[in-house]
């Protein structure tokens, strides 16, 4: 029997609409829960009544030689009936357009019918900062007063906002960029950045800092072990390919290393693979209370980005917009 063609009924949610509803307040809680669900899904035995099922394969990528790559990031979250995939490109040499571009597709989980298409840029930008906030809440040694941000692009801005909104204890945010004038532009952008100072060197930026965020497109280490205060917490956000690194391998080996996905880190993270550092835990295991937060030690959260974070962000947007 021939099937009739149905007309497409899914919504397209613009960047402006996503931005209008995707607050850090909602997102940080949702990402924390998502990270927990992801780690619980793999670690429990099936006997556990609280076991949740999250099916999230490691991102697949196709390269455009000398330019960039396209990453495909699907996930199914049984508890939320969310069937979602993000498609994201990273073209680090882009000059007048963003280096990352993304769309998020949401399907009805019971039929597989498309439900909505969302602009993925704000979702990527904000959920990544939210994941770093979650890791910092669990792993920082006390209330942070000094934050150092290495890099001054899109993620630097979202991390600045999310951290200032979450950690009222912050007194100073130091920013460094490999092109110093861009760090100055970042620090002087507007009145709200009154607590932000531009630093000439990475060493100046990170000396004595309680929390460090690395958000560069560098493929070789920018953050050296000898500059980091013992007990500091580092969110390593860049370097998402197996041959790229942002963090001194000595620092990776001497710190307690947490990741978003163990499987992902062992396939995608040059910081982990090239240093041969031991991965102690997924941050979701800390959220679930099944692994210890070693707050008294120097800790690294190696973030690669996960579809589960995109999916919970998309859910907030659809719920808030009543779609």
Q: Does 305 contact ligand 2PC by CB under 6 A?
A: yes
C-beta of 36 vs 71, nearer to ligand NDP: 71
Q: Does 124 contact ligand NDP by CB under 6 A?
A: yes
> 153 φ, ψ to 5°?
-95, -150
Give the separation between CA 68 and CA 48, rounded to whole angstroms: 42
Residue 39: contacted member of ligand NDP, ligand 2PC, none (CB under 5 to 8 Å, by partner type): none
The footprint of ligand NDP on residues 205-234 (CB under 6 A) is: 215-218, 222
Q: Mask 234-253, x = binds ligand 2PC (CB under 6 A)?
A: ------x-------------
Q: Does 265 contact ligand 2PC by CB under 6 A?
A: no
Q: Does 101 contact ligand NDP by CB under 6 A?
A: no
Angle between the 24-43 and 121-139 helix axes, to the nearest 10 degrees? 70
Per DSSP, the residues of 238-280 read ---STT---B-HHHHHHSEEEES-HHHHHHH-HHHHHHTPPEE
| CA atoms lying within 13 Å on the CB side of residue 9 | 8
Bridging pattern class, strands 114-119 and 100-108: antiparallel
Give the separation between CA 122 and CA 129, rounded to whole angstroms: 11
Shortest approach of ligand 2PC to residue 195 CB, angstroms? 28
Query: Which of the ranges 48-56, 154-162, 195-203, 223-231 carries the binding residues for ligand NDP, by CB under 6 A?
Result: 154-162
Instruction: Pick from 38, 90, 160, 258 the residue near ligand 2PC by CB under 6 A.
Output: 90
Residue that is written with structure tokens 């919970």 in the block = 312
C-beta of 144 vs 236, nearer to ligand 2PC: 236
The residue ranges of DSSP E strands in 56-178, in sequence order, are 60-64, 68-77, 82-90, 100-108, 114-119, 146-150, 172-176
Shortest approach of ligand NDP to residue 206 CB, angstroms? 14
Residue ranges that bind ligand NDP, judged by CB under 6 A:
90, 99-100, 124, 128, 151-156, 177-179, 182, 215-218, 222, 237-238, 240, 303-305
């Amino acid at each position: 029997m021939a099937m009739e063609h149905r007309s497409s009924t899914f919504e397209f949610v613009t960047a402006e609409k996503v931005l209008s509803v995707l607050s850090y307040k909602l997102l940080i809680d949702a990402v924390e829960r998502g990270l927990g669900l992801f780690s619980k899904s793999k670690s429990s035995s099936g006997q556990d009544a609280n076991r949740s099922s999250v099916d999230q394969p490691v991102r697949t990528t196709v390269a455009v030689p000398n330019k960039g790559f396209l990453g495909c990031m699907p996930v199914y979250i049984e508890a939320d009936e969310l069937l979602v995939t993000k498609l994201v490109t990273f073209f680090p040499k882009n000059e007048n357009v963003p280096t990352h571009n993304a769309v998020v597709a949401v399907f009805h989980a019971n039929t597989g019918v498309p439900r909505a298409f969302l602009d993925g840029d704000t979702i990527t930008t904000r959920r990544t900062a939210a994941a770093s906030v979650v890791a910092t809440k669990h792993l920082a040694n006390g209330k942070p007063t000094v934050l150092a941000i290495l890099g001054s692009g899109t993620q630097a801005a979202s991390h600045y906002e999310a951290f200032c909104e979450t950690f009222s204890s912050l007194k100073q945010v130091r920013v460094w960029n490999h092109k110093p004038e861009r760090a100055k532009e970042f620090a002087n952008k507007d009145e709200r950045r009154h607590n932000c100072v531009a630093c000439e060197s990475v060493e100046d930026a990170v000396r004595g800092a309680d929390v460090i965020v690395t958000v560069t497109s560098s493929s070789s280490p920018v953050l050296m072990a000898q500059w980091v205060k013992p007990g500091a917490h580092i969110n390593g956000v860049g370097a998402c390919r197996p041959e790229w690194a942002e963090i001194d391998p000595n620092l990776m080996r001497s710190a307690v290393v947490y990741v978003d996905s163990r499987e992902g880190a062992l396939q995608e993270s040059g910081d982990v693979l090239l240093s041969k550092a031991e991965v102690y835990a997924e941050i979701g295991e800390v959220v679930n209370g099944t692994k210890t937060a070693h707050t008294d030690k120097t800790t690294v959260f190696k973030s690669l980005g996960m579809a589960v974070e995109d999916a919970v962000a998309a859910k907030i947007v659809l719920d808030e917009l009543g779609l």
